[in-house]
Amino acid sequence: MGATMAMTTEAHAMTTLFAWFSPAFPVGAFAFSHGLETAAAEGLVVGEAGLLRWIEAILTAGGAWTDCVLFAAAYRAAGAQMWTSLMQVGALAYALAPSGERLRETLAQGDAFARAVAQGWPGLLPTTLSAVAAYPVAAGAAVAAIGAPLPDALAAYLNGFAGNSIAVGIRLGLCGQSGGVRILSTLGDAIARTAQRAAISNLDDLGGCAFNADIASMRHETLQPRIFVS
């Protein structure tokens, strides 16, 4: 009986992860390109191979990696009910945004995520969480509340990021649907490795070297015409 209940609880946590980090969850990710629109316009990313390299760099050494470290820190703070630490992680997420648009990206998605979770899972998020929390901080705190395994949650989060980036690339004409499927399949190992690495990370592991992505996000502020917010 106890084993069955444990399996049921774990299965419920996993299905919740699938819901939260699927493209259907209303965080508005479709509106943000994370600088990819600039990179495509300026010829930094060309074709399917270029899109694969761009996304993999961000996953392993760029903004997505930073998000995962913050996610893990928020997860641990919320799980231990260390609310001051959770707020400190939230403040750090603000400070680490490399551009105004990237800050808007993470705050808008974090706010939308928290609102959606409050609608479907009322009372789950801690009241001490900032009213406007960065996306990985809100996500990490929510995942801790359902008791989902951190590596699995990070993999789901990264898979959602990769899927959205591929969708952006398709809209920008960098590849077609078949190319997008090939990219997502190829990125599986990088997603798994990054999730495992982030699961044992701490805030000392923050840092990245995807400089072109950060600069592209800054240059996007003056890009014309443009269809994405970042």
CB burial of residue 128 (10 Å; 0-12, 13-18, 19+): middle
Residue 128 or residue 99, greater confidence: 99
- The model's pTM is 0.93
Q: What torsion do the CA atoms of 118, 121, 124, 130 make, to the nearest 10 degrees?
A: -20
Q: Is residue 190 part of a domain?
A: yes
In the prediction, which pLDDT does 10 show?
Answer: 73
Note the pLDDT tens digit of each residue in 162-204: 999 999 999 999 999 999 999 999 999 999 999 999 999 999 9
Provide the residue range defining the domain that includes 55.
Answer: 38-222
CB burial of residue 113 (10 Å; 0-12, 13-18, 19+): buried
For residue 87, what is the domain's CATH number?
A: 1.10.4190.10
What's the residue count for the chain?
Answer: 230
What's the longest Cα–Cα distance across the chain?
61
Tell me, what DSSP letter sits at residue 82?
-
Note the pLDDT tens digit of each residue in 114-162: 999 999 999 898 887 776 799 999 999 999 999 999 999 999 999 999 9
Q: Is residue 21 part of a domain?
A: no
In the prediction, which pLDDT does 6 show?
Answer: 43
Structure token digits, residue 175: 């590849």
Q: Is residue 230 part of a domain?
A: no
User: 187 by DSSP, 3-state: which?
Assistant: coil
In the prediction, which pLDDT does 181 show?
Answer: 97
Q: Give the number of other Cβ atoms within 10 Å of residue 230's Cβ.
A: 24
Q: What is the number of domains present in the chain?
A: 1
Note the pLDDT tens digit of each residue in 6-56: 435 677 888 999 999 998 899 999 999 999 999 999 999 999 999 999 999
Cα distance between residue 203 and residue 160, in whole Å: 23
Report whether the peptide linkage leading into residue 98 is cis, meaning its omega lies within 30 degrees of zero. no
